[in-house]
Structure 1
């Protein structure tokens, strides 16, 4: 299977500080990739560098056969590369319905947008029941569902998510994972940074382990999860 997203020799950070050093990774069409590792290992910086939110000192990013290195996020969203940040990922002072409409800002097909809003409500019935509520009144799990649904309104072919399970209850985690599974099975490729290592490795097909800004391990996600040495050295999971 060919790749929808490839990043080669990524060196990134903020200001003059290098945080990510010589990292290469790829995401297949319709695939699912987890990026895991200890706190402070540069996972979020890596993800943001692919989208132009962190400084890219060196490297190349290709999306769907096009070089998008250094391209602004509004252009990459229009091309089909979506992003859900860890925080500030909804408009708190807008309703659920208005947030979904904002997610389609790059589109010009009013009828299609209306259909996709209904599709999001079918996928996230929890949101439809409260569509006139302000996003600021939602629980953590509901906010995350809205953030994902809003990103999906741009019809991304690949969606990058920064810690979608952070600070959620066990029930909310399972709900979000199930929604991501539906999205992935519908054909949208997923690249997910996550601290809930065990859960995300059980979900994704492939994984990269990032340690102090460098790749320590990559391969089949289930194999990495079962690797006792990897669990102890890099993931803080210990033996089962």
Structure 2
């Protein structure tokens, strides 16, 4: 994360919240972009807070260290933008986005992650995230992304877009194909899978064939390896 997180946290009036003792910052500036930071690492939250405090039009109004607290905090504060980590101790960032966007479509999420091509990223974008950046992005780009997303536009830089595009074939997997792939990973043969999901063995054979094609896998084992790596299935 480099120089983004070297600056000390600027002194501001704070109120200890019920959310894991993470501070809620009281801000009263008018016409500013209000921001909530969600990350389970205090050093990341503090670094982002310090960095954003240098921008007069950006105001951090709260922080959360896990998904459940993030949902409650964001619904209470109704910020303009949420900087959202994906890997949280309880519910994932994608689920937080889905829950919040289901009630408040005007809250804009930017995913901050160290991951590339992980299933959670796709879930976050499908759930309503409007921006996606790697945590080692330059400070200038993060500031720009916040302002762009605040205007209601999407912000996905070319480098990230390429990383997404490389793995988009997995987005074509149907729920049934994912179910079959999960059972393949569990060690079941096609005949056993057919019995388990109450379809013909020929149908299962077709599903497996489609999965191999969509994941560009050479065989069943290769398909399972790819799916586990991308987070499509879990053991």
Task: Give me the TM-score of the superposition, normalised by structure 2.
Answer: 0.33
**Which protein is richer in strand relative to its size?**
1
Task: Give me the TM-score of the superposition, normalised by structure 1.
Answer: 0.32
If asked which structure has higher relative contact order (CA below 8 Å, sep 6+), I would say: 1
**Which protein is richer in helix relative to its size?**
2
Structure whose alpha-carbon radius of gyration is higher: 2
